[in-house]
Amino acid sequence: VKPKTKSPTSKTTTSMTSTSTAVLPDDAALLGDQLARWFAGAARDLPWRTDRTPYRVWLSEVMLQQTRVAVVVDYFLRFVTRFPDVGALAAASEDDVLGLWSGLGYYSRGRNLHRAARVVATAHGGQFPSTREALRALPGVGDYTSAAIASLAFGEAVAVVDGNVHRVLMRLCADETPIDTPAGAAKTTMRASALVTSSSTPATINEGLMELGALVCTPRSPSCGSCPWRFSCRAYAHHTPEQYPVKARRTARKALRVACVVVVDGSGRVWLEKRAARGLFGGLWEPPGQIVDVVDDDMTVSARVTDTWHALLVARRIEANLAGVAPVVVTRTLTHRDLRFDVVVARVVGEVDPSGSDGVGRWFARDELHSVGTSTAVRAVFDAALGEVHSPRLV
Ligand code: ADE
């Protein structure tokens, strides 16, 4: 939405003079007041905004990294119902935690969540540390999460910078510094810090910035007409909000092709194996699969896929005839990967005990598949191969 009017020119009293480095286009305390007033009227009623314990702030902020609010709400409610406090989470098994995390993506978050809960339970007597520096020592708690917990749960006047905050502040200042560079990161942090340290309610400033980015100052078609900062915003004045933020690099994705066999036994159970704890999808369950290297020889990729299916079965001493079975293809785009699964269903006769595989494997009944820790990609593989037995929990 292109702004129809230019901002008034009469608001120059504090313009670019609030500090010697001209951090913000208006007085930080004034901008903070405007933001806090807007937040009081516009903030969404989200479950982690009530009963604001450090545990609930931590859990929600870890989930909200990389995942949309609408998706997180359901997962958050399920987590706090099953694990109402950090002690309950620490007492759970990793399989249970990853099972509940299933479908949220970025599974190292779920593994670190569980490890951090155990550290809080054992080394801190079940109480979260209350300073940013102490929080940062917990597994999976970095710059962002430590700042978010310190600010939102403990009121520390520290800037919480996520993608929303970058966008809002780069637009406010019409700043073309790429946000994926140290200079861009430093500028946003400096501006957000100026706002939070000038306010008596730093938590509201941090959350207000994120909320403004989520509701008004959106990546496309921002609603500048309802923005509390429209008369200070440089990008609005220039009719160019969508030109910010600038990024230096585009994300390069690596193409991965995986040959995958969904093994089903005579009673309809599905054979799954657990991945090693570290790396992509670590600790999650999946059907036997292997990356098919695209190498430069005379074998076509599809012949290599077929070969790999057979090799996967042979390695587990599973006898199945794949001739005449129609394969299905499932694709998934992750931040750094383009995944393609070539999937075939192998129906084995009677009771079978696959052996000889590297991973830890076992049979799962169909009705167990929805609660086991799997990636969204593997859920899609189940759906495609087994016919919607495993539709995602979230629509
Ligand atoms: N994104 C990350 N944290 C958030 C929060 N506390 N409120 C709204 N959006 C967010």
Beta-carbon contacts of residue 50 (< 8 Å; ≥ 6 apart): none
At 25 the pLDDT is: 96
Those residues with Cβ within 8 angstroms of residue 173's Cβ, 6 or more apart along the chain or in another chain: 24, 25, 187, 191, 234
Catalytic-labelled residue, pool 61, 156, 211, 273? 61
Residue 381's CB is within 10 A of a number of other CB atoms, namely: 25
Which ligand 1 atom sits closest to the C-alpha of 64? 2
Q: What is the pLDDT of residue 22?
A: 61
When pLDDT is cut at 50, 70 and 90, the band that residue 277 belongs to is confident
Bigger pLDDT: 371 vs 146: 146
Spacing, Cα 24 to ligand 1 middle (Å): 23
The pLDDT confidence band at residue 324, using thresholds 50, 70 and 90, is confident
Ligand 1 atom closest to the Cα of residue 211 is: 8
61 labelled catalytic: yes
Percent of the chain with pLDDT over 70: 89
- To test ligand 1's pocket by mutation, which of 164, 166, 167 has the most ligand atoms within 8 angstroms of CB? 164
| Average pLDDT, integer, range 339-361 | 80
Which residue has its alpha carbon closest to ligand 1 atom 5? 207
Residue whose CA lies nearest to ligand 1 atom number 2: 64
Residue 394 has pLDDT above 50, yes or no: no
- Which of 35, 44, 58, 162 to mutate to test ligand 1, by most ligand atoms within 8 A of the CB atom? 162
Distance 208 CA to ligand 1 centre (A): 9
pLDDT for res 20: 41
Query: What per-residue confidence (pLDDT) applies to 390?
Result: 39
Query: What H or E segment, with its residue span, contains residue 289?
Result: strand 289-291
In angstroms, the CA 148 to CA 141 distance is 10
List Cβ neighbours of 282 (8 Å cut-off, separation of 6 or more).
107, 108, 111, 275, 276
Task: Inform me whether the pLDDT recorded for 69 exceeds 70.
Answer: yes
Q: Are strands 270-274 and 360-364 parallel, antiparallel or unpaired?
A: antiparallel
Split at pLDDT 50, 70, 90, the class of 295 is: low
Q: How far is the CA of 57 from the centre of ligand 1 (A)?
A: 10
Distances (CA, A) of 134 to 85, 142, 159: 19, 11, 16
Instruction: Give residue ranges with CB within 6 A of ligand 1.
Output: 61, 64, 69, 162, 207, 210-211, 214
Q: Which DSSP symbol is given to 126?
A: T
In this predicted model, which residue has the larger pLDDT, 393 or 323?
323
- Retrieve residue 104's tokens: 């949220």
Say what the pLDDT of residue 297 is.
Answer: 58
Confidence tier at 325 by pLDDT (50, 70, 90): confident
Give distance in angstroms: CA of 334 to centre of ligand 1.
Answer: 22
For ligand 1, pick from 68, 167, 207, 218 the residue to mutate: most ligand atoms within 8 Å of CB: 207
> What is d(CA 19, CA 303) in angstroms, rounded to the nearest whole number?
66
Q: How confident is the model at residue 389 (pLDDT cuts 50, 70, 90)?
A: very low
Residue 66 has pLDDT above 90, yes or no: no
Kindly indicate the confidence band of residue 314, based on its pLDDT and cuts at 50, 70 and 90.
Answer: confident
Q: How far is CA 121 from the centre of its chain?
A: 25
Burial class, 379, CB count within 10 angstroms (exposed 0-12 / middle 13-18 / buried 19+)? buried
pLDDT of residue 19 exceeding 70: no
- Rounded to 10 deg, the angle between the 143-152 and 202-215 helix axes is 120
- Mean pLDDT is lowest, of 124-133, 209-218, 256-265, 318-327, for 318-327
